[in-house]
Amino acid sequence: MNNETTIDGLLNKLTETRISLRELQEKERDLKRTKNDLESRIIADLESQGIDRVGNGSCTISIKKEVVPTVEDWDTVQKYIRETGRFELLHKRMSATAFREILQLELGVPGVKQTELTRILFRSK
């Protein structure tokens, strides 16, 4: 019998896969830190020289500034959205945790159906 067809074999393979994923995520975090550091250094160098575009044989870099929101008072923002109907300011995604809490207290939320997901809870030894 193939080791990957037994429960023991499958559990071992799952453990190995999760370890590999964790190692890759750590590597990804390190690479993102390095990328962010390099980008910050390049931006600082270009801005100090008054340059907004530069390139070499491997890439071209241009600086782009954009405005992004940072909410300081959610109550005020939510009131504004309700009063103006500017719901496009929000992501269209529900909080699963809050939804489950409402389900425990009430029958449900109008316009929302329940979908049950089956997942494996994993704990390594």
pLDDT tens per residue, range 35-46: 999 999 999 999
Average pLDDT, stretch 96-121? 87
Q: Would residue 36 count as lying in a domain?
A: yes
Instruction: Give me the pLDDT at residue 108, please.
Output: 81
> Does 29 map to a domain?
yes
Quick check: 26 pLDDT over 80?
yes
Mean pLDDT along residues 110-121: 85
Neighbouring residues of 62: CB distance < 8 A, sequence distance ≥ 6:
52, 53
Counting the structural domains of the chain, the total is 1
Average pLDDT over residues 65-71: 91
* pTM strictly above 0.95: no
Q: CA–CA separation, 6 vs 27, rounded Å? A: 31
Q: Over 80: is that where the pLDDT of 97 sits?
A: yes
Going by their DSSP bridges, the two strands 53-55 and 60-62 should be labelled as antiparallel
Tell me, yes or no, whether 113 lies in a domain: no
Q: Which structural domain, as residue segments, surrounds residue 84? A: 3-105
